[in-house]
Structure 1
């Protein structure tokens, strides 16, 4: 159960979030709506990360899921696993993202992404050899977008974990997960 109640409303901000998500708010959105300016900025940032970058979808989702695994953000993992699968990540790829997983199933660009996400998440500073490994697979724009993706999903995971936001939240007024990481709002 989340540490704060979820907010449901029909504000302009909530409606913009619904539009980006295809109609429904998630528990994350319901928590963010405690602060409309934060929710609005978050929506714009996540919309750009998810929809407007030049990163291959498998690379983006590999980075997101690795951050979720490293930070113990179970709800983030639940929300992004289907997206990762749709981007071509297999059971073997997903297994490689957990601590001690077999990374030999990853291609060179995916391994470079994993090493970069690890460095940014665990140490913040990125060793030169790790950064140089990205340059062989990605252009400058993609490196900026990958950096923004890893940084953004570290923010997301820390927010989710700190406030105990999760798909299991079905308390009265919170809503229900539809099984795909989408929060089905309950009528008031």
Structure 2
């Protein structure tokens, strides 16, 4: 059982409109979104800073950062939702999705720019800083706006992971699971 029960319909009008805009047609709102709906202020701020729009990173690059961050933080909930909704669109193989969980940052299934993004996530999760070698690798492939976006994504999905894990949200029935 989650620590805060997700809101049930009918939702406040602004929440209902946001949920309709965010979720794919025919897919019920995520438990995370419905839990956040219990605090309209937190819900609004969560989506105001969500970085869900098209930014300077490609979809595969963005998903590598999100999947690696959530996996490294043990957040099967968010990792599973992202793998389910975005892995195929990002062109990930099953091997690549699995490598976001436990593969080395230099795993051969990734290109050099993708390896740099994974190293960034690993540095921030493990050391809460970016090592000089990782920085050199990043600047060889990305401009400043892309690097800032990647760092912000790690921070944002760190928060999302804390929310999911702290609230003990049950996994979505349709979402991918960590390989066993």
Offset of residue 84 of structure 1: 2.0
Instruction: Give the CA deviation at 1:6.
Output: 1.1
Q: Which residue of 1 aligns with 2:14?
A: 13
State the distance in 1 between where 2:101 and 2:80 align: 14
Find the counterpart in structure 2 of residue 157 from structure 1: 161
User: Is the Cα–Cα contact under 8 Å of residues 17 and 43 in structure 1 kept in the other structure?
Assistant: no
Which consecutive segments of 4 or more residues in structure 1 shift more than 6 A? none
Q: Distance in 1 between matches of 2:152 and 2:103?
A: 25
**Displacement of 1:71:** 1.0
TM-score by length of 1: 0.83
Which of 119, 127, 134 pairs up with 2:131? 127
**Cα contact 1:112–1:134 (8 A) shared by 2:** yes
CA gap 1:4/1:141 in 2 versus in 1, 3 angstroms: same
User: Quick one: distance in 2 between partners of 1:142 and 1:18?
Assistant: 29
Residue 93 (1) aligns with residue 96 (2): yes
Aligned position for 1:84: 87
Q: How many residues in Structure 1 have an aligned counterpart in Structure 2?
A: 170
Aligned position for 1:174: none
What root-mean-square deviation, in Å, do the aligned CA atoms of Structure 1 and Structure 2 show? 1.8
> How far is 1:160 from its partner?
0.3
The answer for unaligned runs of 5 or more in structure 1 is: 169-176, 182-188
Measure the CA separation in 2 of the matches of 1:72 and 1:59.
Answer: 20
Match of 1:107 in 2: 111
Structure 2 residues not aligned, in runs of 5+:
none
- Out of 66-75 and 23-32, give the one that drifted further: 23-32
Task: Give the direction of change, closer, same or farther, for the CA distance of 1:33–1:142 in structure 2 (3 Å limit).
Answer: same
Within 5 A, what are the aligned runs for 1:30-49? 30-46=34-50, 49=51
Would the alpha carbon gap of residues 38 and 131 (structure 1) be closer, same or farther in structure 2, given more than 3 Å must change?
same
Query: 1:68, 1:77 within 8 Å by CA — same for their partners in 2?
Result: yes
Per the alignment, residue 4 of structure 2 pairs with 4
Q: Which residue of 1 aligns with 2:64?
A: 62
Moved more, 2-11 or 138-147: 2-11
- The answer for the alignment partner of 1:186 in structure 2 is none
Moved more, 91-100 or 56-65: 91-100
Question: In structure 1, what is the Cα distance between the partners aligned to 2:136 and 2:130?
Answer: 10
